[in-house]
Amino acid sequence: MIPANHEEKELAFVALSRFTVANGMEEEVRAAFVARPHLVDAVAGFVRMEVLRPQGHPEEFWLMTWWLDERSFDAWHRSHVYHDSHRGMPKGLKLVPGRTEISRLELVAE
């Protein structure tokens, strides 16, 4: 759903980040997202973030970040705020190699 303070034509970009936890720390990762510091919320062009897990696969995490444009996402992804936001992840976390990816999506219709 598009937030009321944004027109549909402005919301042009969604980044879907996916990763799979390799070492049984799924609940610690979930707790880290629930308690996240919301650093990205103040970044120019950011609209919202949703953290999802497929039913039956609690080791998989999908992060959908909604942006006004791809340029805003790219600027954040290169910034210290991006790197700082990962500090809340549990120590010792291991991810399944080859199961981490970012898909760049265009909002076509709602």
Q: Read off the pTM.
A: 0.84
The pair of three-digit structure tokens given for residue 103, joined into one six-digit string: 């898909």
Instruction: Tell me the one-letter amino acid at 96.
Output: V
Give the mean model confidence (pLDDT) for residues 3-10: 52
**Buried b or exposed e, range 3-35, using 16+ CB within 10 angstroms:** eeeeeeeebbbbbebbbbbeeebbeebeebeee
Q: What is residue 57's predicted lDDT score, i.e. its pLDDT?
A: 97
Q: Which residue has the higher pLDDT, 8 or 95?
A: 95
Q: Is the pLDDT of residue 6 over 90?
A: no
- Asked if CATH classification 3.40.50.10490 holds for the domain at 18-93, the reply, yes or no, is no
Average pLDDT, rounded, for the chain = 90
The model's confidence at residue 21, banded by pLDDT at 50, 70 and 90, is very high
